[in-house]
Amino acid sequence: MIRLDSRAADFAAQFETLLAQARETTEAVAEPVAAIIADVRTRGDAALIALTERFDRQRLTAATIRVGAAEIDAARARVPAADLAALDLAATRIETFHRAQMPADIALDDPAGLALGMRWNALDAVGIYVPGGKAAYPSSVLMNAVPARVAGVGRIAMCVPTPDGVMNDLVLAAAHRAGVDEVFRIGGAQAVAALAYGTASIAPVDRIVGPGNAYVAEAKRQVFGRVGIDGIAGPSEVVILADAANDPARVAMDLLAQAEHDEAAQSILIADDADFAARVIASVEAAIPRLARAAIAGASWATHGAVIVVADWDQAAALVDRLAPEHLQIMTADPQALFARIRHAGSAFLGRDAPEALGDYVAGPNHVLPTGRTARFASGLSVFDFLKRTTWLSASPAGIAAIGPAAVRLARAEGLGAHAESVAMRIAGPGSA
């Protein structure tokens, strides 16, 4: 675990080292992923069947690649009623928040006499990847599928790996609640390839969303252009700004809530009190052994955890903008004021009683967020990932007479004679050809 103090002479260099820390890279898997994609493109379902047996130790046939409606119904029947109720609450809140994001079309008449506008349309088909290795994530099903359904996507296909043939009942229940149309028991780079290029069993989609391991991330990178993607997801991360008025045990558990995701996850505490920071560190180390995922959380904290003591919160805000974290918790006396000074974060959680884990499940905003400092230029998943814009215009003779001459001059300046004549003929009026 890294400890930094902003007042140390070498702080700038140490902070740069923290920023440069590589937690996961896709470079080592680029070649095998390319081979998997090529195999799926060439052999289709046969490749999916062979790769699933190889990586997930499950034998499929063309008839069992897709999860049937009866299997989904049986899975839902096995889920306790309280879990279904929690799932429904989460889905309802996610839907409400994302429905509020839906944009309006634009139509306006300008002074020159043209009508201009922009129309929003949903994508025809999207593919959702849901992790299924170290843990099952029904929450990811909701966070990916509900916004797509709200946006009006025509077809939602979901791929989820099922190692050793084990499918999580709550994942299937979540898919049903979110309105997923098709579920396939395929994972890894082969699932991304199938969604991008299609096979006999899986029709291709227009965009692929959802997090996965290094193979999934690299596969999304390689198929981008054939299809759209939401981004390249890396290990989870949180930065927590906390003052000494907080309970160290709560802050410690918030840090560990990220650490338990993955050995490559990163949890960073920024505090303005060295004694409080030390108490949080002690609380983290005391709590790790009693976690169900102690080995994972412990490895994450030991290798990638960091505690930074700052002189003031202005300095903390500047450091957050450089870290551009996926998740940001602000646990100070005036979190809104501090948040106003921060520009780069995937999602922010304001106050002492707004843990990031609440946002993972039931708050409403999306938990699919930019990682690896990409919050500098990227945003979390929203309805906009499932919509596209089409602009339009119409012009009257008066309108083209008003602005057409400028278009003619610019076209001729660029050496594009047909462009110029196309407009000039209309300025001159009928019969000018």
Local confidence band at 132 (pLDDT 50, 70, 90 cut-offs): confident
Backbone φ and ψ for 363, nearest 5 degrees, come out as -65, -45
Say whether pLDDT at 26 is over 60.
no
Residue spans of the domains in the chain: they are: 29-102+123-230, 234-379, 396-428
Per-residue b or e along 125-140, where b marks 16 or more CB atoms closer than 10 Å to that residue's CB: bbbbbbbbeeebbbbb
Angle at 41 between CA 35 and CA 44, to 5 degrees: 115
Distances, alpha carbon 371 to alpha carbons 223, 236, 267, 346, in Å: 20, 7, 12, 8
Tens-place pLDDT, residues 33-87: 999 999 999 999 999 999 999 999 999 999 999 999 999 999 999 999 999 999 9
- Pick the range with the lowest mean pLDDT from 17-21, 140-144, 303-307: 17-21
Instruction: Provide CB contacts within 8 A for 172, sequence distance 6+.
Output: 67, 71, 72, 75, 76, 183
Helix (H) / strand (E) element for 390: namely strand 387-395
Q: Cα separation of 45 and 428, whole Å?
A: 60
What mean pLDDT is predicted for residues 312-333?
97
Say whether pLDDT at 133 is over 60.
no
Local confidence band at 234 (pLDDT 50, 70, 90 cut-offs): confident
Q: Which two tokens stand for residue 76?
A: 């839902």
Which residue, 290, 307, 299, is CA-closest to 262? 299
Q: Cα separation of 22 and 18, whole Å?
A: 9
Mean pLDDT of the chain: 95
Q: Which pLDDT value is given to residue 27?
A: 65
3-state DSSP helix/strand/coil percent for the chain, to nearest 5?
A: 50, 15, 35
Relative to beta strand 237-242, strand 347-350 is unpaired
Say whether pLDDT at 288 is over 80.
yes
Q: Which pLDDT value is given to residue 23?
A: 74
Which residue, 205, 141, 198, 128, is CA-closest to 172? 141
Relative to beta strand 237-242, strand 155-159 is unpaired
Say whether pLDDT at 24 is over 80.
no
What mean pLDDT is predicted for residues 287-302?
96
Residues serving a catalytic function are 326-327
Instruction: Provide CB contacts within 8 A for 164, sequence distance 6+.
Output: 56, 57, 58
What mean pLDDT is predicted for residues 304-323?
96
Say whether pLDDT at 212 is over 90.
no
Q: What's 234-379's CATH class?
A: alpha beta
Say whether pLDDT at 430 is over 90.
no
Distances, alpha carbon 392 to alpha carbons 4, 57, 285, in Å: 54, 52, 59
Distances, alpha carbon 304 to alpha carbons 3, 113, 262, 280, 354, in Å: 11, 60, 11, 16, 24
Q: Which pLDDT value is given to residue 299?
A: 96
Q: Which residue has the higher pLDDT, 69 or 234?
A: 69
Tens-place pLDDT, residues 343-399: 999 999 999 999 999 999 999 999 999 999 999 999 999 999 999 999 999 999 999
Q: Which pLDDT value is given to residue 131?
A: 87
Q: Which pLDDT value is given to residue 22?
A: 73
Q: Which pLDDT value is given to residue 150?
A: 98
Report the side by side order of strands in the sheet with 106-109. Answer: 106-109, 114-122, 387-395
Tens-place pLDDT, residues 179-199: 999 999 999 999 999 999 999
Topology given in CATH for the domain delimited by 29-102+123-230:
Rossmann fold (3.40.50)
CA atoms within 13 A on the CB side of 343: 5
3-class state of residue 121 by DSSP: strand
Q: Which two tokens stand for residue 118?
A: 């922009």
